[in-house]
Amino acid sequence: MLNQRLRLKLSQKLSPQQIQLMKLIQLPLQELEQHLAREIEENPALELGKESDEDSIDYDNDDNQNDDNEINVEDYLSDDDVPDYKLKSNNYSSDDVEKSIPFTSGISFNQFLKNQLHSFSFNETETQIAEFLVGSIDHAGYLRREILDIVDDLAFTMNINTNLIIVKKIVKKIHLLDPPGIGARNLQECLTIQLKRKPRSKSITNAINIIENNFDLFIKKHYNKIISKLNINEDELKNTIKEIEKLNPKPGSAFSESTKINSSIIPDFTIEIIDNHLSLNLNSRNAPDLYISNEYKNILSGYQETKKVSKSQKDAVIFIKQKLDAAKWFIDAINQRNQTLLITMKTIMDFQKKYFLSGDESHLKPMILKDIAEKIKMDISTISRVANSKYVDTPYGIKLIKSFFSEGITNDEGKEVSTIEIKKELKNIIEKENKSKPLTDDELTNKINEKGYPIARRTVAKYREMIGAPVARLRKKL
């Protein structure tokens, strides 16, 4: 049986403007600047820079009276309510803007490799193949694609018909490029290439034998089996492992990181200690000087002098109003973003005041997103957006804001401590262990419990993984 019922339901939905504001809050500084550039490009009513006082127009006229420099848009849009607002934003002084950020400059990693190809006697087709191969090398220095796939790509994308033998021959040439290990298909090949370019010695010969023929035993640290297979003693194995440890498992990263353009992290905040008090500043690049285009103001002034308003003029004014509204909203959104960032970071700084004054990580208090959200009466998702993508420049280095958040446990003294402190203690225990007999997770649990932190073995294993420490067998050293 069908029936109809009337039911009231209260629900909350975010407006498109609120969604856009949330996205703005989430953007780190460099992405914000890119977004700002796009917004200025798309909205001709919005401009970046300082607005001269003589050209400014005050749109916040409560009396709705026009003087020589004021425009009442309602004269053209009698059927539309136009809100009062000021178009000029109240931002930081341009004197506060950091005008130069030091960036590393240089040629790209790909171009660095291509430049070395000139040392080989390649014909035109071989040069094209070599450049294609170099272009397929990833940032770590590896050629991870199958040679057969590369042969197919050369045929389809460059109209070069070749075969596996020719491509493999050119790959061998690429293995001669610097830094050593470039163009390897996997870690085993990468280490082998590097070893074969070193002056030959007994340790290097043993290292090549281990990597080429006993790689699986080596990565699993079955040292006794290696000693038996190679018929060497423990001291010889130690010397051999020292040679292997000198190799670079990611030969491309050293070059690409040192020459990557614009690789600097630009912090959103700066915390300083002045007379034993904390001072918080928002990077002024978060608050650019935005204003409404003078050209748009002049257009409106021209319409004011026109006594007869045609349909095309009315359409033009509607278009201008839309652009003005969008520009005003964007200016307000930037200001609201900055206010949210400052309030959130100020609350975090006050919450972790003891740490920011001392730099001692043991002073970090347990703090979760809810703690900050409740203090400033904001949604947890807003705090998360600020914490996940923003950096703060502290007296102890540039830190990701997210790193100050952690859960807490109660120690044997009844004091609540941060899990950051426990991870630090666990790291110290692992660093001081006997590397020939690394501590198992059970033994690590006993050690950490003795320090006064009552946590279970599974929690110790989780924290060990989080600090990047492998299991005991893989931490073993001779």
- DSSP of 306-358: -SS--HHHHHHHHHHHHHHHHHHHHHHHHHHHHHHHHHHHHHHHHHTHHHHHH
- Residue 20 sits in which domain range? 16-94+285-331
Best mean pLDDT range from 297-301, 358-362, 391-395 = 391-395
Is residue 447 assigned to a domain? yes
**Nearest Cα to 121, choosing from 134, 130, 110?**
130
Across the range 10-36, mean pLDDT stands at 74
Residues 289 and 227 placed together within one structural domain of the fold:
no
pLDDT value of position 127: 92
Place of tokens 């460059």: 158
Domain presence at residue 267: no
Total domains, the chain: 3
- Tens of pLDDT, residue by residue over 249-302, are 988 876 654 444 444 678 889 999 999 999 999 887 776 777 777 776 666 666
Q: 96-132: string of b/e by CB count within 10 Å (b at 16+)?
A: eeeeeeeeeeeeebbebbbebbeeeebeeebebbbbb
Q: Name the pairing type of β-strands 277-282 and 269-274.
A: antiparallel
238 and 297 assigned to the same domain: no
Q: Are residues 217 and 120 in the same domain?
A: yes
Question: Is residue 247 domain-shared with residue 123, that is, in the same domain?
Answer: yes
Report yes or no on 186 lying in a domain: yes
Asked whether residue 142 falls in the same domain as residue 197, the answer is yes
Range with the poorest average pLDDT among 265-269, 325-329, 352-356, 399-403: 325-329
Long-range contacts of 332-337 (CB under 8 A, 24+ apart): 332/85, 332/89, 333/17, 333/20, 333/21, 333/24, 334/24, 334/36, 334/89, 334/286, 334/287, 334/288, 334/290, 335/89, 335/90, 335/91, 335/287, 336/21, 337/21, 337/24, 337/25, 337/286
- Judge if 135 and 239 occupy the same domain: yes
Same domain, 113 and 239: yes
pLDDT, average across residues 218-239: 91
pLDDT tens track for 65-83: 333 334 444 444 434 433 3
Decide which of 439 and 255 is more confident.
Answer: 439
* CATH code for position 432: 1.10.10.60
Q: Tell me, yes or no, whether 365 lies in a domain.
A: no
Q: Are residues 301 and 217 part of one domain? A: no
97-101, 150-154, 266-270, 290-294: segment of lowest average pLDDT: 97-101
Please indicate, yes or no, whether residues 50 and 146 belong to a single structural domain of this protein.
no
272: in domain: no
